Structure 1
Amino acid sequence: MKVSAKGRYAVRSVINLSLSINTQKSVREVATQESISSDFLEKIFRSLKKGGIIKSIRGAHGGFTLNKQPGDITVLEVLEAIGEEFNPTPCASDKCGKECDISYFWTMTREYVTDFFSKITIEDIIKREIKL
């Protein structure tokens, strides 16, 4: 399994917003700070907003900010909001359609990774307090 660039940028952007939690930032500002294309980040922000991770504030001092505290946002939530999938092989998804001797292993792998990401918050990453 490989987390896509979209997934990595989404997590980085949420961390960026977390570091200035009481301030709204524009897409362009975050994109510049994280060296991400503004157009690409705009699409990511739309998904993050739809997923309830961030919110937009209109007006002269508007922009984007977190919708929750960093300790209440898991990596899994961020990745799911942008449509990241955790299937190491088609055997671990509904796409396979058949049961074989190894499919249970791939399903367990998917469940393990999903569970791992569900236990790590953005705050854990910022504080470097990830417990395995």
Structure 2
Amino acid sequence: MRVSAKADYAVRAAVELARTPDEHRSAESIAQAQDIPTKFLQSILCDLRRSGIVASRRGVDGGYRLGRPPRDTTVADVVRAVDGPLATVRGERPQDLHYPDGAETLRALWVAMRAGVRGVLESVTLADLADHRLPSKVRRIVDDDDAWHNH
């Protein structure tokens, strides 16, 4: 699985907002805090606003804040808001693929891969990340030394 720069920046920006959920923050302050290019972040914030993850307000006291509580927003929500489905194969959802005889098991494999990714990203909330913690399910995966090595 590849995580796009857009998804990485979106999660970082959302976690930055989760640290101060009741404050409105300027795009510039979020960009500076997370070392994200401001123009790129503004586009990302628009995607997050359209999905309801972020709310915005104009004016002197304006800016961006989370549109819902950080504990109710998962990393999967953020990634889907900016990149679409979590896992696709050649731009198609795994369950919609059709393979010729001899390769039909690939469809099930891609569905399983998506379920694994979903199992991790849907279990981690912005509140978890803002509090510097991971759910025990994810922590067990990370604690396995093999997880840290490329094969």
Distance 1:54 1:46, change over 3 A: same
Are residues 1:32 and 2:32 paired? yes
- Preserved contact between residue 17 and residue 66 of structure 2 (Cα < 8 Å): yes
Instruction: Tell me the residue number matched to 1:109.
Output: 113
Q: How far off its partner does 1:88 sit? A: 6.4
2:50 is aligned with 1:56: no
For 2:63 and 2:72, how far apart are their aligned partners in 1?
21
Query: Counterpart of 2:44?
Result: 44
TM (normalized to structure 1)?
A: 0.89
| Matched letter for residue 98 of structure 1 | Y
Amino acid at match of 1:106: W
Say yes or no: does 1:130 pair with 2:135. Answer: yes
Instruction: Quote the Cα distance in structure 2 between the aligned partners of 1:92 and 1:108.
Output: 12
1:15·1:122 contact (CA, 8 Å) conserved in 2?
Answer: yes
The count of residues paired between Structure 1 and Structure 2 equals: 132
For structure 1, the 5+ residue unaligned runs are none
TM-score calculated relative to the size of structure 2: 0.78
Query: Over residues 88-116 of structure 1, what are the superposed CA-to-partner deviations in whole Å (9 max), with x where a residue is unaligned?
Result: 64486367532523321121111221132
Identity of aligned residues (%): 28
Tell me the secondary structure at the aligned position of residue 82 of structure 1: helix
Contact 1:24 1:62 (8 Å CA) reproduced: yes
2:123 pairs, out of 119, 122, 130, with 119
* Contact 1:4–1:84 (Cα < 8 Å) also in 2: no
Query: 1:130, 1:101 → 2: CA distance?
Result: 32
> Hey, what does 2:19 align to over in structure 1?
19
Consecutive unaligned residues in structure 2, runs of 5 or more: 138-151
Which residue identity lines up with residue 40 of structure 1 in the other structure?
A: F
In the aligned structure 2, how far is the partner of 1:67 from the partner of 1:92?
28
Would you say the 8 A contact 1:31–1:38 is kept in 2? yes
Rounded to whole Å, the distance in 1 between the matches of 2:34 and 2:128 is 20
Greater relative contact order (Cα < 8 A, sep 6+): 1
State the AA in 2 paired with 1:51. Answer: S
Q: CA deviation at 1:13?
A: 0.3
- The Cα RMSD (Å) is 2.0
For 1:126 and 1:117, locate their aligned partners in 2 and report how far apart those are by CA, in whole Å.
15
Contact 1:7-1:84 within 8 A present in 2 as well: no
